[in-house]
Each structure stands twice: as structure tokens, then as C-alpha cells.
């Protein structure tokens, strides 16, 4: 019994053959192999075609960084879908979409924040010089004014001119030449051998190209004036590379290039309106904190922004929770009907409802003043306008909180509240010490996301108060402006857009929301540890 039979041979069932990870699918499955091969070929062909199509504009624009990024993406796609690492086949599309729609916009915004990008500073220095020269073009005194007909020869755009004496001329980028074979009727060229005249619709479609065409002459250039006239003109301002300055020909006035601010500046400090895009470092960020004209309204707007986000978040949560608690009891009859009615504001388009609420708060014919027999200019005073904005957001936001609170209440076991009642706790004590903490564990992430949403709730303010009322001394920042509406006005409103400065403000907004969210999530995790 204690001896072991050494003569016995242990037999084991043969191991199933494991296919190598590098091998393809079973060749016996012809339909899968053929279908997969066709799908893979089509997909990689589309990727290649799109990459080739997108490469030419990048090469023309000299965007070598973006071109390199495109090449890297194409190489990665081919490696993943030809080498067949299975997990990456599913991860790669989502990763690329994340990079395209999340990471790339953030990086572009951050890079813009360190520049002076905006109206008057959109292009490079060469484009600014061309714009300055073009804007100073005036008609040469005593020069001939021609009747213009626009034509094409092949792909080239040309001018067919007729002078007051009826002589015809061909004008293109090589200069002006007589065109005796042309037909002049009614003071304009109506036909010319080898040229195709454009009709009015075609001229309008190529108006930008026509406006950019310059025909050199001895005294200047011939340019189009509208669709039917042309004249000889010259630029009154020119660029001198020796002094890196713009010189006005008539007066000799000079504007020297300041490459730090991206503008041409004269001795008195006056800038030409045409500038170029340059890197200004931290100037935009410093202006928010150090410039009194910007820092005071920025900080005032930030305080109101925090108040609006907190009032909207916790106000909607309180109202939604009260409604959910009221309908949580089984003794309430018609709960389904009440719940449907309470969710109605959430089901309606917020865009339309905000406009309706704006009319309801109208001082002259608004429904609220008429129902309450009041004469309040709701949007004319800062605090009434703020109260109106919060009230509108409470009405729009509480149905969402009602829905999530209803679901969270149903997930809490009734035995826990019944046990607290057995222990002698009052309904209020049971709610405060049992129900509410469990609700907050489940709903805290939603409250944090709601705060982030309301902090940047552009529609709620812009469609009701439009940021107003505005003080008489600063029409750029209103009493109800959030940082996001203030940023929008900087970027797209006023006398000129300041995209670089607006991008810097956007980074401040992102940082504030990120810090508050991070702290809130950390407290939420601690709360989960206590009640888990």
C-alpha cells in the first residue's frame, strides 16, 4: 500500500493545438477571409486617399508639423491593421477621435493664448505688408478709366479693356497690350478670339480673384473697380527692407516694424491697423491679472460666475430632490402623471424656452409683471437681472435633478430607513443621517458635472439677458456676464476680435473648473469610503 508502482506509465490527454498569434484566420473559412480582406483593403484605400487629399493643402500652407502628424497617423493605421494586434484595432479609432476632437482643440487653444492672434493680426508679416500696400492704392491722377470685361483663356483670368475712344486692350499679369481683333460694342469689349467672356454670375463667383488681379504698368497697376470699371492706380505706401519699415511716398512718413507686438509703429507710437501674428509669451495671461481695465471686471465676473453656478447646481438639486421625495411615497396617487408633468421643462428645447422666458420678464408687456401687477425692469438692474437668470435656470434644470434623484431613491433599500425609524429616529433625522448621505454618494459626480456645465452655461445668460445690464463706463462686461460670455464678446464682439486674449481667458476658465472638480471628486471619494 505504501509502495508506488513505478512501472505504470502516466498518460495525459493531448493538448489542443494553439494557433500562433501571428497566424491569420483559419483558411477553411473562405467567406470570413475574403470578406475581411475586402473590408481591410477598402478601409486602408480610403485612409490612403484621404491622406493624399489632405497632404496637398498642408504642403501649400507650409504646415510641416501637421503633415508629419498625418504621416505618423497613416503609418500607425497601416501597422495596426496589417500586423493584426487585435486590441489596438478597437482602441485606435477611439484614440484618433479623442486626439482629433479633444486633444487637438485644447492644444490649439493653448498655443493661441500665447499669441496676439486677432483682427489686424491674422496672417504673417508678408501678408501684412501686401495688405498695407493694397489698402493705400489710389487712382493715378489724370489716368484713363476703362470699361472692363472679365474673360478667361484656359485657366488664366484676364481683363479686356476698352478706353473712351473705343480701342481694345488685353490686360493680364504680364502687362497691357493692344487687342485689335476684339469687338467693341457700346463702349465695352463683347467678344475676342481665343477668350471666353464671363457673365455677371461668373464674375460675382470669382470676385475675390478679380479683386486680387494686378496688371503692371509704367505708372503703377491697373485694378478692377467693381465688375465693369478699371483704372490705373499706384500704392502710396511701400515697404523698405533696408529699414524694415513702411514709407508713405507722398509725405515720407515711416512706420518701423515692431516684431514683439507684430505691428508697424511710427515715432509717435501710432500703429498701422494691419499687423501680423507673433508670439507674445505670457502677456495675455498677465493682462488678465495686472491690467486694471481687465482685472477688475474679470474678478467681478468670476465672483458672479461662481455664484451663478453654485445657485443653479444646488438650487436645481434641492428642488428636484424635494419633488422626488414628495412622489417617492406609495401613498401618493397619480405619481406617473405628476412625474410626467414635472419632466416637461426638460423635454422642451432649452433654446426656445430661454427666449420665451426673456419675453416673460419684459418690463413693458411681460407676463410676470402683469400677473404680479408689478413694474419691475428685470433686465435693467444688476440684481434683478441676476435673479431672473438664476430663476430661469432653476426652471430648466430641476427636471434633470428630479429624474436622477428619483432613480437614486429607488435604489436605497427601504429596510435602512425602516431600521432608523425602529431606532427612534424622526423622519428628518432619518433623511439627514441615512437617505441624504447615500444620495450624495451616488449623485456627487453628477453634481460636479452640473457645476461645470453651469459654470460655462452660455445659452442661459446670452439668450435671456445677453450679459446685461452694462455699466456706462464699460460696455464690454455686463452684470450677468459669465466668463464664457465675456470671452465670446472678446473673441467675436466689439470693435475687433482678440482671439489670443480670449484663449487665455478660456485657459483660466478651464483651470478654475478643473481645480474645483478635482477637489470635489477627492471629497466624494472620502465620502464613498465612509459609507461603503
Q: State pLDDT tens for residues 435-465.
A: 888 898 889 999 999 999 999 999 999 999 9
User: So what's the pLDDT on residue 4?
Assistant: 45
Residue 184 near residue 168, CB atoms below 8 Å: yes
Q: Among the residues of 242-332, which ranges form H helices?
A: 283-290, 292-326
pLDDT of 532: 57
Span 241-259, mean pLDDT? 93
24 in a structural domain? no
3-state secondary structure of 175: strand
What's the Cα-to-Cα distance from 531 to each of 62, 399, 435, 446, rounded to whole Å?
Answer: 58, 27, 11, 18
pLDDT tens-digit map of 486-521: 989 888 876 678 899 999 999 999 999 999 989 888
Q: Tell me, yes or no, whether 215 and 246 share the same domain.
A: no
With respect to residue 4, please indicate whether it lies within any of the assigned structural domains. no
Region 161-188 average pLDDT: 92
Q: What is the CATH number of the domain that holds 213?
A: 2.40.430.10
**20 is a domain residue:** no
Element (H, E) at 49: helix 30-61
Q: Are residues 131 and 141 in the same domain?
A: no
Q: CA–CA separation, 285 vs 300, rounded Å?
A: 17
When pLDDT is averaged across residues 253-270 and rounded to a whole number, the result is 94
**pLDDT number for residue 474:** 80
**Residue carrying C-alpha cell 511701400:** 238
pLDDT digits (tens, 9 = 90+) for 46-65: 999 999 999 998 898 788 88
Confirm whether 7 is domain-assigned: no
What is the C-alpha to C-alpha distance for residues 232 and 140, in angstroms, rounded to an integer? 6
- Looking at 215, 249, 276, the residue that finishes a domain is 276
CATH of residue 452: 1.10.3720.10
Decide which of 29 and 266 is more confident.
266
174, 41: one domain: no
pLDDT at 6 over 60: no
Closest to 121 in 3D by CA, of 264, 239, 244, 278: 278
Q: Residue 381: how many CA atoms within 13 Å on its side-chain side?
A: 8
Residue-level pLDDT at 531: 57
Q: Give the highest mean pLDDT range of 137-141, 212-216, 334-338, 385-389.
A: 385-389
343: left (phi over 0), alpha (psi -120 to 50) or beta: alpha
* Residue 246 belongs to a domain: yes
- Residue 7: is it exposed, middle or buried by C-beta count within 10 angstroms (0-12/13-18/19+)? exposed
Number of separate domains in the chain: 4
Q: State whether 206 and 266 are in the same domain.
A: no
The answer to whether residues 334 and 250 belong to one domain is no
| pLDDT per residue as tens digits for the range 401-435 | 999 999 999 888 888 878 887 888 888 888 888 88
pLDDT at 21 over 60: no
Separation between Cα atoms, residue 532 and residue 336, nearest integer Å: 32
Percentage of residues of the chain with pLDDT beyond 70: 92
**pTM, 2 dp:** 0.76
Using CA atoms of 496, 461, 102, 500 in order, give the dihedral in degrees to the nearest 10: 20
Does any domain span residue 26? no
Q: Is 522 left (phi over 0), alpha (psi -120 to 50) or beta?
A: alpha
| Integer Cα distance of 491 and 347 in angstroms | 32
Give burial (CB, 10 Å; 0-12/13-18/19+) of 254: middle
Task: Answer yes or no: are the C-beta atoms of 318 and 440 closer than 8 Å.
Answer: no
Please name every residue paired with 222 in a beta bridge, in sequence order, or none if there are none: 215, 232
Q: Is the dihedral of CA 106, 108, 112, 117 positive or negative?
A: negative
Q: Are residues 207 and 297 in the same domain?
A: no
Which of 20-24, 145-149, 474-478, 528-532 is predicted least confidently? 20-24
Q: Report which secondary-structure segment, H or E, holds 191.
A: strand 188-191
Band the pLDDT of 220: cuts 50, 70, 90. Answer: confident
Higher pLDDT, 296 or 31: 296
Q: What is the distance between the terminal CA atoms of the chain, rounded to a whole angstrom? A: 55
Quick one: 372 and 431 in the same domain?
A: yes
pLDDT band at 300 (very low <50, low <70, confident <90, very high): very high
457 and 342 in a common domain: yes
Residue 315 lies in a domain: yes
| Spatial contact of 399 and 320, defined as CB atoms under 8 Å apart | yes
Give yes or no: residues 128 and 183 share one domain.
no
Q: Which of 79, 113, 147 lies at the terminal end of a domain, its last residue? A: 113
Q: Are 402 and 342 in contact (CB under 8 A)?
A: yes
The beta strand positions in 94-166, using DSSP E, are: 137-139, 145-153, 156-162
Mean pLDDT estimate for the chain: 87
d(CA 386, CA 419): 44
What DSSP state is assigned to residue 9?
Answer: -
Does 98 lie in the same domain as 162? no
Tell me the average pLDDT across 73-82.
89
**Nearest of 175, 168, 167 to residue 195 by alpha carbon:** 168
Please say if the pLDDT value at position 18 is more than 80: no
Q: Are residues 297 and 386 in the same domain?
A: yes
pLDDT band at 346 (very low <50, low <70, confident <90, very high): confident
Q: Are residues 62 and 193 in the same domain?
A: no
State pLDDT tens for residues 322-336.
Answer: 999 999 888 888 888
The pLDDT value given to residue 61: 79
Q: Return the ∠ at Cα 197 (arms to 195 and 203), rounded to 5°.
A: 135
The pLDDT of residue 162 is above 90:
yes
- C-alpha distances out from residue 184 to 143, 168, 170, 178, 226, Å: 21, 7, 13, 13, 20
Q: How far apart are CA 117 and CA 98, in angstroms?
A: 26
Q: Is 14 part of a structural domain of the chain?
A: no
The CA distance from 364 to 379, in Å, is 11
Q: What is the pLDDT of residue 194?
A: 92
Domain that holds residue 72: 32-113
Residue 296 has pLDDT above 80, yes or no: yes
Amino acid at each position: 500500500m505504501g509502495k508506488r508502482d513505478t512501472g505504470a506509465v502516466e498518460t495525459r490527454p493531448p493538448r489542443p493545438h494553439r494557433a500562433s498569434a501571428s497566424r491569420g484566420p483559419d483558411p477553411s473559412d473562405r467567406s470570413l477571409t475574403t470578406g475581411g480582406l475586402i473590408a481591410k483593403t477598402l478601409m486602408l484605400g480610403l485612409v490612403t486617399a484621404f491622406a493624399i487629399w489632405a497632404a496637398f493643402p498642408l504642403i501649400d500652407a507650409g504646415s510641416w508639423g501637421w503633415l508629419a502628424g498625418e504621416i505618423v497617423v497613416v503609418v500607425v493605421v497601416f501597422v495596426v491593421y496589417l500586423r493584426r494586434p487585435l486590441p489596438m484595432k478597437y482602441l485606435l479609432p477611439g484614440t484618433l477621435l479623442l486626439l482629433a476632437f479633444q486633444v487637438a482643440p485644447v492644444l490649439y487653444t493653448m498655443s493661441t493664448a500665447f499669441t496676439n492672434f486677432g483682427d489686424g493680426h491674422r496672417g504673417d508679416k508678408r501678408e501684412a505688408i501686401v495688405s498695407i500696400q493694397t489698402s493705400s492704392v489710389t487712382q493715378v491722377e489724370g489716368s484713363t478709366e476703362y470699361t472692363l470685361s472679365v474673360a478667361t483663356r484656359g485657366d488664366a483670368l484676364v481683363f479686356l479693356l476698352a478706353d473712351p475712344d473705343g480701342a481694345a486692350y488685353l490686360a493680364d499679369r504680364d502687362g497691357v497690350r493692344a487687342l485689335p481683333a476684339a469687338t467693341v460694342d457700346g463702349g465695352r469689349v463683347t467678344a475676342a478670339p481665343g477668350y471666353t467672356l464671363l457673365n455677371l454670375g461668373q464674375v460675382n463667383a470669382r470676385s475675390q480673384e478679380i479683386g486680387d488681379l494686378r496688371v503692371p504698368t509704367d505708372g503703377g497697376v491697373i485694378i478692377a473697380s467693381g465688375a465693369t470699371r478699371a483704372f490705373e492706380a499706384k500704392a502710396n505706401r511701400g515697404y523698405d527692407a533696408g529699414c524694415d519699415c513702411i514709407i508713405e511716398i507722398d509725405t515720407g512718413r515711416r512706420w518701423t516694424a515692431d516684431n514683439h507686438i507684430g505691428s508697424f509703429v511710427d515715432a509717435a507710437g501710432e500703429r498701422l491697423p494691419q499687423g501680423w501674428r507673433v508670439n507674445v509669451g505670457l502677456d495675455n495671461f498677465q493682462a488678465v491679472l495686472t491690467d486694471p481695465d481687465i482685472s477688475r471686471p474679470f474678478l467681478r465676473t468670476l465672483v458672479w460666475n461662481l455664484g451663478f453656478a453654485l445657485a443653479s447646481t444646488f438650487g436645481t438639486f434641492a428642488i428636484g430632490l424635494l419633488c422626488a421625495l414628495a412622489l417617492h411615497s406609495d401613498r401618493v396617487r397619480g405619481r406617473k402623471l405628476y412625474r410626467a408633468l414635472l419632466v416637461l421643462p426638460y423635454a422642451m428645447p432649452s433654446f426656445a424656452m430661454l427666449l420665451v422666458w426673456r419675453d416673460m420678464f419684459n418690463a413693458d408687456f411681460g407676463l410676470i409683471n402683469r400677473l404680479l401687477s408689478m413694474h419691475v425692469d428685470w433686465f435693467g438692474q444688476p440684481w434683478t437681472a441676476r435673479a431672473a437668470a438664476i430663476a430661469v435656470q432653476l426652471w430648466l434644470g430641476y427636471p434633470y435633478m428630479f429624474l436622477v434623484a428619483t432613480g437614486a431613491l429607488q435604489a436605497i433599500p427601504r429596510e435602512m430607513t425602516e431600521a432608523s425609524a425602529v431606532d427612534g429616529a424622526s423622519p428628518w433625522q432619518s433623511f439627514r443621517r441615512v437617505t441624504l448621505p447615500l444620495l450624495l454618494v451616488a449623485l456627487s459626480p453628477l453634481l460636479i458635472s452640473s457645476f461645470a456645465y453651469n459654470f460655462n452655461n452660455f445659452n442661459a445668460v446670452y439668450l435671456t439677458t445677453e450679459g446685461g445690464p452694462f455699466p456706462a463706463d464699460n460696455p464690454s462686461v455686463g452684470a450677468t456676464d459669465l466668463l464664457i460670455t465675456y470671452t465670446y464678446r472678446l473673441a467675436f464682439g466689439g470693435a475687433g476680435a482678440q482671439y489670443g486674449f480670449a484663449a487665455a481667458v478660456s485657459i483660466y476658465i478651464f483651470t478654475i473648473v478643473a481645480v474645483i472638480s478635482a477637489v470635489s471628486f477627492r471629497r466624494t471619494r472620502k465620502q464613498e469610503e465612509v459609507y461603503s
